[in-house]
Amino acid sequence: MLTFKKGNENELEVFYQGDIILKHTPSQPAFFVGLGQEKIEGYRGNFDIEDYITERIPLRTITVHNQEVVFSHQDLHLTVRFSIEDGRCIASMNFNRPYNRFWMRLYALKDESVYGCGEQASYFNLRGRNFPLFTGESGVGRDKNSLTTFYANLKDKAGGDYYSTYYPETTFVSSRKYWFHLDTYAYADFNFKHETFHELMVWEIPKGFILSKKDHFTDLLTDLTDYTGRVPMLPEYLLDGMIIGVQGGLDQVMEYLRKAQSHGCKISGMWCQDWAGYRFTTFGKRLYWNWVLNEKLYPNLKQKIKELESENVQFLTYICPFLLENETLFNEAEQQGFLVLNQQDETYREDFGEFYCGLVDLTNPQAFEWYKGIIKQNIIALGIKGWMADFGEYLPTDCKLHNGIDALIMHNEWPVLWAKCNYEAVLETNNLGKIFYFMRAGGYLSQKYATSLWAGDQSVNWEIHDGIPSVIPAALSSGIIGNPFTHSDIGGYTSLHGNIRTKELFDRWCEMNVFTSYMRSHEGNRPKDNFQFYHDEDTMKHMGRMTQIRVHLKPYIKHLFEEASTLGYPVQRPLFMHYEEDPMGYQLQYQYLFGRDVLVKPVIEPNQTISSVYLPNDEWIHLWTGKHYVGNTTVTVDCPMGYPPVFYRKHSSFKELFSELRTKY
């Protein structure tokens, strides 16, 4: 399975399962080492990074001993030990000097496509671009040519770019049917621009890499998640309607619930992020970051939660690892030495815009256990069945951590520690599969510890890089590396610099989210300025019909949940996952398969009533009209509001379930 082919002096090709993975020659070496000096400016979760390379040394000379290869330059030696474990190619690395920059060239084909590297919202196929991998705020607009990004950078240093992401990961999947993981959490930059190699740069000597190849993408996803671990099934209540994101206190949210229900909406949960209180800043409505129930806003909540559960409506909340300074949890954590420190060994206070917070040091085992206990006592014990586990991407790079590791190296691992804290709280209360949380930040092993993702804070508009279109490649990219469950805020979140949510945007986002892991709305950062469903009779009727369709599809979606937790298949899938021979399926990023049997192309442009959809080689039936199509072609269909372009396979075992929709809804 693993072979080495030596050419002339210092020439080597490494083959795995008959395919070349590394090609080394003196003129095109496979590895480089070097030194660099970085400059990082962090501001409210946004990181401006500059790297000055002072030395880059090609390791041209090789020595091969069985399955061990030493790549050298004078007295510099990189030892790479290859092995096969459980059918996967495993390479461990050891370097004899303390260099802090490393480059690796993985063999590539000109027409190869590449996907993953965490959650990427601008481009699904990464080929032809480089992707810096460092977790942070994903950016407002994420497009240097847009006015949204211009003003976000001008006022808040928060515009971002096409590669900005909450969830970076040094893992990708190739159209050559292999998955690859570089074993590091350090800052990395994966460059997919070259025709004959992928150049992978990282700010440390990595521990090694893993590469696994399968005959089919379905087997590849199962193999990948066998390695990383998989999340449990999502709770069944998510199949019984949508979660409405509402706030304002118990009386207010109950009014919104009853109003939605009176219009036929199937509501399975209320997400009330202001359970601990709120404040207003120039950014908009912000939460009161002391994660203790606000009894004035939500009196007798534990009893009310029981009453709601009898109606099959669950109560969901919010938490993050930051604590508001001079409040009860902050004071308790500071007294016990559980907060991250600055370089003067004082509590690091992070500026969140008109208020400051301390950060629980999750590298401190005692602090980790304490905060896990807060989740158990303050949230789970109330009967709460879900929450947003936010702000995993904010670890300052200039802070000091209990474990003594440089915060710059820990930065990309931090979201995984935060996910693990939540995971263990749920596990230790025997609630896996009954309770879930959703995260925007992630990293390697989120596949096991983050029970669900959400796409983060999209702008409330139609912009390609940060509006409604961006959540589709985000779902596909995170899914292809083993995160099966993700969704987005219905209507988006960020309303800044003139972006105001419209009714049309909300309604289109709502119909799209029927065909994702689950449905959840959000009022956004400026609720009073933006369209809200509870102010519009027509939208509530629209929500009613969409949620009824969602509940009708419960048997099929439950089947997708089971596939996700047992096989690692994402709920939203690229076309090539099931149509491997179709070249079109490798390049499409705004349509997807919802499981094996349903094809969806959401409406992501305003005022659109007609859509062109590519159908792969199969027999398809238009969900709303019943019209039959033979695939391997592009078709045009009407897409009025409430009828997005959706097709199902004629030979699906769920075809009767799908066909019933036409007469019922």
> Beta partners for 152?
none
Tell me the two tokens of residue 301.
Answer: 């909540």
- Do you know the residue count of the chain? 665
Task: Catalogue the long-range contacts made by 146-154 (C-beta closer than 8 Å, 24 or more residues apart).
Answer: 146/463, 146/465, 147/497, 147/498, 148/459, 148/461, 148/463, 148/466, 148/496, 148/497, 148/499, 151/496, 151/497, 152/496, 152/497
In three-state form (DSSP H/G/I as H, E/B as E, the rest C), the secondary structure along 460-520 is CCCCCCCCHHHHHHHHHHHHHCCCCCEECCECCCECCCCCCCCHHHHHHHHHHHCCCCCCE
Which residues face 135 on adjacent strands?
165
> Which one of 223, 393, 523, 618 is the catalytic residue?
393
Selected catalytic residue, list 390, 413, 489, 523: 390
How many Å apart are CA 466 and CA 454, to the nearest integer?
14
Q: Is the dihedral of CA 559, 560, 564, 565 positive or negative?
A: negative
With a CB cutoff of 8 Å and minimum separation 6, the contacts of 331 are none
Query: Comparing C-alpha atoms, which of 113, 144, 138 is closest to residue 44?
Result: 138
The C-alpha atoms of residue 624 and residue 663 are separated, in whole angstroms, by 9
Contacts of 663 (CB under 8 A, 6+ apart): none
CA angle 382, 387, 391 (to 5 degrees): 130
d(CA 196, CA 214): 22
Measured CA distances, 637 to 101, 459, 634 (Å): 52, 28, 10
Q: Which of 457, 489, 563, 597 is catalytic?
A: 457
Q: Cα separation of 83 and 461, whole Å? A: 49
393 counts as catalytic: yes
Structure tokens at 315: 């109560």
The secondary structure of 374-435 as a DSSP string is HHHHHTGGGT--EEEE---S---TT-B-TT---HHHHTTTHHHHHHHHHHHHHHHTT-BTTB
- CA distance linking residue 55 with residue 467, whole number of Å: 40
Active site residue 463: no
The owner of tokens 């002072």 is 54
- Partnered with residue 55 across adjacent β-strands are 35
Tokens found for residue 560: 């997708």
On whether the CB atoms of residues 477 and 116 are closer than 8 A, the answer is yes
189 is catalytic: no
**How many angstroms separate the CA atoms of 178 and 87, rounded?**
12
Other C-beta atoms lying within 10 Å of the C-beta of residue 154 = 11
Task: Please give the structure tokens belonging to residue 494.
Answer: 């960020």
Cα 524–529–533 angle (5° rounding)? 65
User: H or E segment at 68?
Assistant: strand 68-73
Looking at the annotation, which residues are catalytic?
A: 390, 393, 457
